[in-house]
Amino acid sequence: MIPVTKSFIPPIEEYNSWLEKVWDSGWLTNRGSLVKLLEDKINAYLDTDFVIAMTNGTLPIQIAIKALDVKGDVITTPFSYVATTSTIFWEGCNPIFVDIDPNYFTIDETKIEAAITEETTAILATHVYGNPCNVEAIEAIAEKHNLSVIYDAAHCFGVKYKGQSLFDYGDVSTSSFHATKLFHTGEGGALFCKPHLRDKMYFHHNFGHKGQEAFHGLGINAKMSEIQAAMGLSVMPYLDEIIEKRKTITSLYSELLADASLTLISIREGTQWNYSYFPVVFESEAQLTRVKDALNKNEIYPRRYFFPSLNKLPYIKESFNCPVSESIASRVLCLPLYTQLSKAEVETICSIINETI
């Protein structure tokens, strides 16, 4: 069987060596030494200034919305994982969907201003598949209208844009360290923010604690455990190797599918990509279904990611005009991509796709 992804699993003896430190200390959670060490290593690897490791990738978005005092309408993308929209609802705000760019699949920055009203307080955009939004245009719009900017950067570990980490953009950027991501802690995530927001974000992720007996505002529990951090510390030494392997697989896919009637994502100029996903867009949903069925018959399981377009979720009662997102969501398929995927398996996948088309 070939799944859409497999977690990178470090050598068990290396993971165990970190777990021994946990056992020796007896400290399992509440920001132990491994969590702090992981944060230091993340900052060093990415050349970022401030990261808070958290227990999953959704809580950082919720905390950002709360800490930035986002209320009312939030302009967002309909082409993302459901968590981008559900967190807006969860925090009592209203998602206002703006259609996406047909080449980059990110929010269409030329349509944002037309969606701004007196009720708008923030922009929550996704760097789709690790492909950057037009961050310069979004920043200019946010400054003009006094809006906060949050980036769902779940797919962006290791991505650089114009020479710096993509996590450096926006008031807050969030990441997922879920087991399916190229860097993972089994389950986990992180929040990156501007310097003036550091304390507020930190207190929000730990019940508002300021020491053991004092509190500094409202907070919830989003802390990463030492067990999760141990996995992250075990995976980190392999990051360059992981990204290089995924680059090789991506290049092979591109070569073998070059003559197929498929559309590939355009990576924004100035981006050092991390090869987090390999999405292909078919000419029609019917063609996608035929290919998916043919692959499934051979025990190959790609994923319709993202589907559906989020403006079509059952709890979205307002109607939004997002024809590009709806079209791409109905025709996009992410092909298997993980470090253990062999050349022969990629050749088999591409052969089935080409024959079916």
Which residue in this structure is represented by tokens 């967190």? 87
Pairwise pLDDT comparison (205 vs 264), residue with the higher score: 264
Q: What is the pLDDT of residues 66-119, one digit of tens each?
A: 999 999 999 999 999 999 999 999 999 999 999 999 999 999 999 999 999 999
**Cα separation, 174 vs 346, whole angstroms:** 31
Model confidence at 289, in pLDDT bands (50, 70, 90)? very high
Share of the chain above pLDDT 90, in %: 92
Other beta carbons within 10 Å of 153: 28
All structural domains of the chain? 12-237 (3.40.640.10), 238-356 (3.90.1150.10)
Written as six digits, the tokens of 109 are 């920055």
Cβ atoms 91, 148 nearer than 8 A: no
Q: Which residues contact 295 (CB under 8 A, 6 or more apart)?
A: 301, 302, 349, 352, 353
Q: What is the mean pLDDT of residues 197-219?
A: 76
pLDDT the model gives residue 237? 98
Cβ atoms 221, 207 nearer than 8 A: yes
CA distances from 245 to 106, 249, 250, 284 (A): 25, 6, 9, 31
Q: What is the pLDDT of residues 227-256, one digit of tens each?
A: 999 999 999 999 999 999 999 999 999 999
**Cα separation, 85 vs 329, whole angstroms:** 15
Share of the chain above pLDDT 70, in %: 97
Structure pTM? 0.96
Indicate the average pLDDT of the chain.
96
Cβ atoms 161, 42 nearer than 8 A: no
Q: What is the pLDDT of residues 145-181, one digit of tens each?
A: 999 999 999 999 999 999 999 999 999 999 999 999 9
pLDDT the model gives residue 117? 95
pLDDT the model gives residue 205? 83
Q: What is the pLDDT of residues 310-355, one digit of tens each?
A: 999 999 999 999 999 999 999 999 999 999 999 999 999 999 999 9
